[in-house]
Amino acid sequence: MWEDFFSVQIFFIILRETLESAIIVSVLLSFLKQNFGSEDPKTYKSLQFQIWFGALLGMLICLAIGGAMIAIFYFLGNDLWSLAERIWEGVFSIISAVIISIMGLALLRINHLQTKWKSKLGRSFTLKNLDDIIIGDTDVAQLSRVGKIRYKVKLFTERHALALLPFITTMREGLEAVVFIGGIGVSQPFTSFPLAILAGGATGFFVGWIMYRGGNKMQLQYFLILSTAFLYLVASGLMSRGVWFLELERYVQLCDGQDMSEVGSGPGSYDVSNSVWHVNCCNGLTDGGWMLLNALVGWTNSATYGSVISYIAFWLFIVASLKVRLFRERNGYLPFIPFSWQRRRIRKQIGILKRAIATADDQYSEVNSEGRPSLTQQTETTVSGNEIEDGERDTLLS
């Protein structure tokens, strides 16, 4: 079957991790082109080499570590698999649903990640001389031995930030993908890995190239929404199927270890006392195209109370999570959580916003010949009109 050669879950895992790395690399390359492309071609080529070198080095190290981890995890899991197949299937399906749910929320924020990284890197790229990144009149000779080491490390990291950032990012995202694949892929044949990994990586790189070439942001957002919606369909099916396998294991134990689902459909193949519906066809474990629906959306011809309730509960949780995140995006805080608990996160958001405004303000001031207020002044005026209490705002901004 096609499941032996292509894993939908692994495809989306690789796509998500590749997209995040592609965003960072594309943002770095875009800033380079804007700030050094025409004014200083030599510096532009040198820094461009740093970016690609760091990204490729991180990828190579990730492949080496990840390949060993997957091999050990896969063969270990494969040996243990035969001892309790239905329990493993159920547990890993539920874990996969949780992992995919978390990734789906992150996938929806990929456009926001682009703005975040631009604001972080904006100041560094406005410096025409890379040596200016080191601020202050530090007398290295007067530093202690530890101080000298720290100063040299700081100097190295700041001068080679364009290589270190993609290096760390690609390695971290790659190792995350390895962990996710280990959790999801242990229940799938190893032959389903290569094509899914190649397809997910190629799609992610293609989207990154579109972003670098100035692709329409709204079109990218639609792509992310559709991908996340499909991802949640898969995750909801995994959650329901995981609970179904655990309930099947309980029924098998009641039947003295005989897997009654293997006899097909009909009387005796399912637990009548725990059945919501059962049809004598369309078996998601044995019948052709229905196996595809079982793999993608968790279809079963013999639903149990647990599988149906878990499916509904999953969607209620996703809807509630998205509603909460939407409120926080629009208002900047959560009304039912003490403000003091949210102060650190809000300060971080304000810092990102200030850096983004400072970067844009430089460009704005060049064309502002009518004496209009700067973007920073406009933003402060807008923020002062928000509904946050004066005392809370002063405490937050202090």
Do 201 and 161 reside in the same domain of the chain? yes
- How many domains does the chain fold into? 2
pLDDT of residue 308: 92
pLDDT of residue 397: 43
- State yes or no: pLDDT of 316 exceeds 80: yes
pLDDT of residue 168: 76
pLDDT of residue 309: 94
Do 55 and 153 reside in the same domain of the chain? yes
Do 316 and 353 reside in the same domain of the chain? no
Residue 285: name the closest of 253, 248, 310 by CA.
248
Mean pLDDT of 284-297: 68
The pair phi, psi for residue 277, each rounded to 5°, is -150, 160
Per the DSSP assignment, residues forming a β-bridge with 304 are 275
Comparing 393 with 56, which gets the higher pLDDT?
56
- State yes or no: pLDDT of 377 exceeds 60: no
Tokens of 95: 């874990």
Average model confidence (pLDDT) across the chain: 70
Among the ranges given (53-62, 283-292, 387-396), the one the predictor scored with the smallest mean pLDDT: 387-396
Mean pLDDT of 112-128: 53
Task: Give the global pTM.
Answer: 0.55
Q: What is the pLDDT of residues 49-98, one digit of tens each?
A: 888 888 888 888 877 877 776 676 666 655 455 556 678 778 877 887 88
Q: What is the pLDDT of residues 180-193, one digit of tens each?
A: 676 666 667 777 77
Do 127 and 198 reside in the same domain of the chain? yes
Do 183 and 100 reside in the same domain of the chain? yes
Q: What is the pLDDT of residues 172-218, one digit of tens each?
A: 677 767 766 766 666 677 777 788 888 888 888 887 787 777 644 54
**Distance separating alpha carbons of residues 128 and 39, to the nearest angstrom:** 10
Beta carbons within 10 angstroms of residue 61's beta carbon: 15
Q: Which CB contacts under 8 angstroms, 24+ apart, belong to 130-133? A: 130/43, 130/159, 133/158, 133/159
Percentage of the residues of the chain whose pLDDT score is greater than 70: 54
Do 176 and 307 reside in the same domain of the chain? yes
Q: Among 331, 361, 385, which residue terminates a domain? A: 331
- State yes or no: pLDDT of 119 exceeds 70: no
The pair phi, psi for residue 29, each rounded to 5°, is -65, -35
pLDDT of residue 116: 59
Q: Among 293, 315, 331, which residue terminates a domain? A: 331
User: Contact 285/309 with Cβ under 8 angstroms?
Assistant: no
The confidence band for 342, taking pLDDT boundaries of 50, 70 and 90, is confident
Residue 319: name the closest of 394, 232, 398, 191 by CA.
232
Do 305 and 237 reside in the same domain of the chain? yes
Do 320 and 192 reside in the same domain of the chain? yes
Do 257 and 355 reside in the same domain of the chain? no
Do 208 and 267 reside in the same domain of the chain? yes
By 3-state DSSP, what share of the chain in percent is helix, strand and coil, each rounded to 5?
Answer: 80, 0, 20
Mean pLDDT of 256-281: 69
The confidence band for 396, taking pLDDT boundaries of 50, 70 and 90, is very low
pLDDT of residue 156: 64
Mean pLDDT of 265-278: 74
Do 193 and 323 reside in the same domain of the chain? yes
Strongest mean pLDDT among 222-226, 334-338, 354-358: 334-338
Comparing 278 with 381, which gets the higher pLDDT?
278
Do 255 and 373 reside in the same domain of the chain? no
Mean pLDDT of 244-259: 78
Residue 164, classed as helix, strand or coil, is helix
- State yes or no: pLDDT of 312 exceeds 90: yes
Determine the structural domain holding residue 108 and report its residue range.
2-331
The pair phi, psi for residue 374, each rounded to 5°, is -70, 170
Q: Among 284, 304, 331, which residue terminates a domain? A: 331
